Amino acid sequence: MLKLGFNEATCKENSTVEKDLALCEKYGYDYIELRLDMLKEYLRTHTLEELAAFFSKSHLKPFALNSIENINFCTPKEWDELIALFTFGCEVAQKIQNPYIIVVPTVTDAVCTKNEKEVFDDSVKSLNSLADIAKDYGVKLSFEPIGDRRWCCNSVRQALEIVQAVDRDNVGLTVDCINVYMHDKCADVDFISKIPKEKLFVYHINDCEDLPLGILDHCHRIMPGKGAIPVKEVSKAVQAAGYDGPACLELFRPEYWRMEAEDVIKMGAECVRPYL
């Protein structure tokens, strides 16, 4: 049995941290994935102590911070900026007892033509550097392959090889339905069930419109059960791997950003529950 989770991207244009917390608690979510940009906004008028106090008296708990992006092939300046954001994330995570930070490979036209060995070597190096910092805060890194070929690491198989080479307790994987679908239309869902339990950290649940690969993008994500992804099979595969954490609803759909956040969060709970 999976738990019910909410990723703040789902209402990032029509809500706030404060509102997401109240609504997720109201509609029975077990976990929330907070966004670092929304947290920075929240901290203009609130403190981390207030956030920690909310979680200490609520059913809702923090799960993963989103996200540290473009971790590959950074210039020294890009790496310094990334480390500053990552360190901020680690400090927040430690204060509010949030276990994971999502880390994402790089997307650029230059980088997406690198060969697999180059991506492997660079990812292992970057993840090790980040894990060195994270261990002092008791935080774990969840590496998320993004299915589109514009991202340099785009399959669960490739990401798992990287994570296994890193071989650290605090480095694992995120499986996200649309990223599995964007890679090969979920041709090998069985592979997910073979991920070692201790390496599967986070599960992002979503569905998407039936569009050709190459056209399909993250704005086409839709509520689970309303699209083309075999969400039931993917959800079963993560459970077969031994994962029993939350299925976190992660959408980037402009249509939902034009709605009331409460309606989206309520509908989200209804659409995700059948897959738990």
Cβ closest to Zn ion, residue 95 vs residue 230: 230
Number of residues lying near Zn ion (CB under 5 A): 3
> In angstroms, rounded to a whole number, what is the distance separating the alpha carbons of residues 217 and 231?
17
Cβ 66 to Zn ion shortest distance, Å? 8
Q: Which is nearer to Zn ion, 54 or 201 (CB)?
A: 201
> Per-residue x/- mask for Zn ion, residues 244 to 263, rule CB under 5 A?
------x-------------
CA–CA gap between residue 213 and residue 33 (Å, rounded): 27
The DSSP bridge partners found for residue 207 are 222
Q: Are strands 64-68 and 3-7 parallel, antiparallel or unpaired?
A: unpaired
Helix, strand, coil % over all residues of the chain, rounded to 5: 50, 15, 35
From CA 182, how far away is CA 26, in angstroms rounded? 33
Contact pick of 183, 204, 218, 221 for Zn ion (by CB under 5 A): 204
- What is the smallest separation between the CB atom of 165 and Zn ion, expressed in angstroms? 22
Which CB atom, from 8 or from 176, has the smaller least distance to Zn ion?
176
Name the minimum Å distance from CB 176 to Zn ion. 4
- CA 194 from chain center: how many Å? 20
Q: Find the shortest distance in angstroms from Cβ 5 to Zn ion.
A: 11
Specify burial of residue 83 (Cβ count, 10 A radius: 0-12, 13-18, 19+): middle
Q: Is 176 in the site for Zn ion (CB under 5 A)?
A: yes
Q: Which two tokens stand for residue 254?
A: 């402009």
What are the tokens at 168? 């650290």
User: Are 121 and 87 in contact, with CB atoms under 8 Å apart?
Assistant: no
Stretch that binds Zn ion, among 128-136, 197-205, 212-220, 223-231 (CB under 5 A): 197-205
Least CB distance to Zn ion at residue 52 (A):
25
Residue (12 or 54) nearer to Zn ion, CB = 12
The Cα 89–Cα 130 span in angstroms is 11
Binding mask 117-156 for Zn ion (x = CB under 5 A): ----------------------------------------
Smallest distance, Zn ion to C-beta of residue 239, A: 18
Which residues of the shown chain bind Zn ion in the complex (CB under 5 A)? 176, 204, 250
